[in-house]
A and B are shown apart, each in its own frame.
Chain A
Amino acid sequence: MDLGFTEQQELLKNAARDFLENECPEQLVRDMEEDERGYSPELWSKMAEQGWQGLLIPEEYGGVGFDFLDFCVLLEEFGRALVPGPFMSSVLGGAVPLLVAGSEEQKQEFLPSIASGDLIFTLAQTEPSARFDEQGIEAAATVDGNEVTISGTKLFVPDANVADYMVVAARSDNGVTLAIVATDQPGVTVNQLLTIARDKQCEVILDGARGQLLGEDGGGWESLQPVMQRYAVAECAYLVGLAQMDFEISVDYAKERVQFGRPIGSFQAIQHKCADMVTDVDGSRFIMYKAAWSINTDQEDTQMAVNMAKAWTSEATRRVVAHGQQIHGGIGFTKDYKIQLYYRRQKRAELAWGDTDHHRELVADQLGI
């Protein structure tokens, strides 16, 4: 037992923090809200030079071969810096499904390019029903050997506007089936949604779109399980970093802002909010890392650990950013002040891959209540 970071994790965390403070300043985050693509190709290639897109990819496929706990350490820093762009989409929605279900040939073909940042992937799973379960997948797939043809609408697909390929979940005669689908083809139409976090979630209309089979025909739902587990925990890691920063900004503000002749942070009404914030941030951090550790070491109760982490973190970080807004008073409501950037992005990650209600329900199921 030990809840401290390894030396390698410390190094990764410090390197990431230094890098992102320089390369991903607040202005870039703001610029990307208005940007059509939603990411900076320059930052994207610098991140690839750091080896980040390939962090989870084994060395034999051009990656760095770190483990999932290390990856969450990095994502915590991404949340802190609010890094915009298709990083999670490409790694968790592309590399991970390929590692789980890809043939040797597919891994050779795609993984080195994902690691180098040359290819961007995303995962097209959810549909207008907005469900995360198997029933939510209704898009129709026809499988012919290794070729899959898909028709249907995918919704809330992150970064489809810049993705070269999508891993699409659709339903064939044999059940849920995954396919690797190039976005640049006549059968694919991508429409951006305007979202609360100004990230790039899209409607993807597939009309006879063609792709290659990923994994078994009908084996898609099983393949998606480890993907969804990792994605949910990754969103938790992002939320922990985001909430930590929101909390730090708020505490600093409470020390500086003077009303009634004293810093507002000297009032217990504010102090107790801050105490609750740090409790929620820390509580989220450990339950998230416990889930990451469970995935890493393939524990028997990994699914439960993941559900508990996303259930707790979604709500706890929401409380943190709400306190952050309240502590800031009127200034926090302005577009110019930075705290609002965290508030809006918290909601995106809270909802991604299931919010508290969704995961709590799964916890209750597993407890047999």
Chain B
Amino acid sequence: MDWGDSAEQASFRAQVRGFVGERLPDFYRELDANRSGLDGGWQAHRASDDPEESGAARDWARALAENGWVAPNWPVEYGGAGLSVWEQFIFKQEMAEAGAPAVGGQGVTQIGPTVIVHGNEQQKEKYLTGILEGDTAWCQGYSEPGAGSDLASLQTRARRDGDEYVINGQKIWTSNAHNADNMYILVRTDPDAPKHRGISLIIIDDIHEAGVQVRPLVDMTFNHHFNETFFEDVRAPVSNRLGEENRGWYVGMTLLDFERSNIDSAILDRTLVEELIEYIGSDEGAVCARTGDLPTLRAEVADRYIECDVARNFGMRIASMQASGVVPNYEASTGKMFGTETHQRVMRTGTKTLGLYGNVWGKDSAYAPMRSQFTHGYVRSIPSTIAGGSSEIQRNIIATRGLGLPRG
């Protein structure tokens, strides 16, 4: 066991750190640590009306593209960097330490890899370059009002009509649909088959042109990130289907062999705890933070710091397994569950430490401690234990797939 870098790892780390240090636009250096919430991140900045935001997003994407680092995990032949597991891990670590955003959104993380694995030559040619160059923004049409944790019960229908699919139904929680060009969507193509076996994965090009209705779903942070999307006889060519018809569930679940440590979240949380500790020690903190009067709070902050280290170890374990050719089983669920629950605890401890000042939502108020990061995070972190497989689903997976307990 070794928590330190090998010579090669250290040299790659120095390369990434040097690059980020030199090329990261100032806009990102000045953002708050808790930048990964629901504000849409890089994708929202790219679509922003503010030229500083959109300019920074574009410049950063171009800089990363020089090294193939827009898609660090994609094979080199498709324009990625083809990084090894540990290189991906180090890359993510360094990006997170510097507060540098990954670019490309779900295009890079989800649909691109799926096209690489399941797409035909024509589809690869049509989509991959656009994803890498940031020309096409993507959104994902998976969840439905009646299909959340039980995603495979989705009801949106696609009926064949000659060379086209005709799609009817509704999706929900469609992140960034209002800024997106294309959507990849899971639809039911065989309503009579068992639920996992009648689903197909289809790409809808230019959703606004295709007639997809996008309605904002403003969340409890008053932010517009999610949408409801409605499909009424929306047409997509059959050639836009990825993989075989009715195999879409499995196509959608297959991802490239990318590094799954979530190390960036562990680093974000540790950064937040460190910033909180720094604040407590500041002149303003002496007034606003209650750790001086309440020793139990001091202990609570220490607990959060320790938990961030546990989360980091869970991430390193996953990378270690992958690097030695082992596919993580329940370990990925453990990491997700523990990481997101720690994230919420960090936010809770932060607001608690700030007492009444934990009320202040307005970031620019003179009374906003740490630009209200913890107050925002306290609300924004709610979906972290729900999206991407809720904590309850993760525990089910750990118990049944990991520990072999009988399904209920």
Question: Which listed residue, A255, A275, A283, A364, touches B310 by the CB 8 Å rule?
Answer: A283
Contact B281 A278, beta carbon cutoff 8 Å? no
B387 interface residue per 8 A CB criterion: no
Question: Which listed residue, A3, A274, A282, A289, touches B399 by the CB 8 Å rule?
Answer: A274
Q: Which residues does chain A contribute within 8 Å of B402, judged by CB atoms?
A: 275, 278
Contact B4 A1, beta carbon cutoff 8 Å? yes
A69 interface residue per 8 A CB criterion: yes
B323 interface residue per 8 A CB criterion: yes
Q: Which residues does chain A contribute within 8 Å of B399, judged by CB atoms?
A: 265, 268, 271-272, 274-275
Contact A1 B320, beta carbon cutoff 8 Å? yes
Please give me the residue from chain B that is nearest to A297 by CB atom.
B4
Question: Which listed residue, A254, A287, A297, A369, touches B405 by the CB 8 Å rule?
Answer: A254
Q: How far is the CB of A4 from chain B (nearest CB, A)?
A: 6
Give the most central of A308, A357, A369: most B CB within 10 Å: A369
In this complex, the interface size class of chain A, counting residues with CB under 8 Å from chain B, is: 35 or more
Please give me the residue from chain B that is nearest to A267 by CB atom.
B408
Contact B313 A275, beta carbon cutoff 8 Å? no
Complex Cα distance, B395 from A270, in Å, reads 10
From residue 268 to 324 of chain A, which have CB atoms closer than 8 A to chain B? 268, 270-272, 274-276, 278-279, 282-283, 286-287, 289-290, 293-294, 297, 308, 311-312
B244 interface residue per 8 A CB criterion: no
Q: Which residues does chain B contribute within 8 Å of A287, judged by CB atoms?
A: 306, 309-310, 313
From residue 266 to 290 of chain B, which have CB atoms closer than 8 A to chain A? 277, 280-281
In this complex, the interface size class of chain B, counting residues with CB under 8 Å from chain A, is: 35 or more
Q: How far is the CB of A257 from chain B (nearest CB, A)?
A: 12
Q: Which residues does chain A contribute within 8 Å of B3, judged by CB atoms?
A: 1, 3, 290, 293-294
A360 interface residue per 8 A CB criterion: yes
Q: How far is the CB of B298 from chain A (nearest CB, A)?
A: 5
Q: How far is the CB of B261 from chain A (nearest CB, A)?
A: 11
A352 interface residue per 8 A CB criterion: no
From residue 317 to 369 of chain A, which have CB atoms closer than 8 A to chain B? 357, 360-361, 363-364, 367-369
Please give me the residue from chain B that is nearest to A6 by CB atom.
B1
Contact A367 B2, beta carbon cutoff 8 Å? no
Contact B334 A282, beta carbon cutoff 8 Å? yes
Q: Which residues does chain B contribute within 8 Å of A363, judged by CB atoms?
A: 302, 305-306
Given contacts A3-B320, A364-B301, contact A266 B406 (CB under 8 A): yes
Q: Which residues does chain B contribute within 8 Å of A283, judged by CB atoms?
A: 310, 313-314, 338
Q: Which residues does chain B contribute within 8 Å of A275, judged by CB atoms?
A: 333-334, 337, 394-396, 398-399, 402-403
Question: Which listed residue, A69, A279, A293, A364, touches B299 by the CB 8 Å rule?
Answer: A364
Contact A1 B302, beta carbon cutoff 8 Å? no
* Besides A266-B406, A283-B338, A289-B1, 12 other A-B contacts (C-beta < 8 A): A1-B4, A1-B316, A2-B323, A254-B405, A271-B400, A272-B395, A275-B395, A276-B395, A278-B334, A293-B3, A311-B303, A360-B306
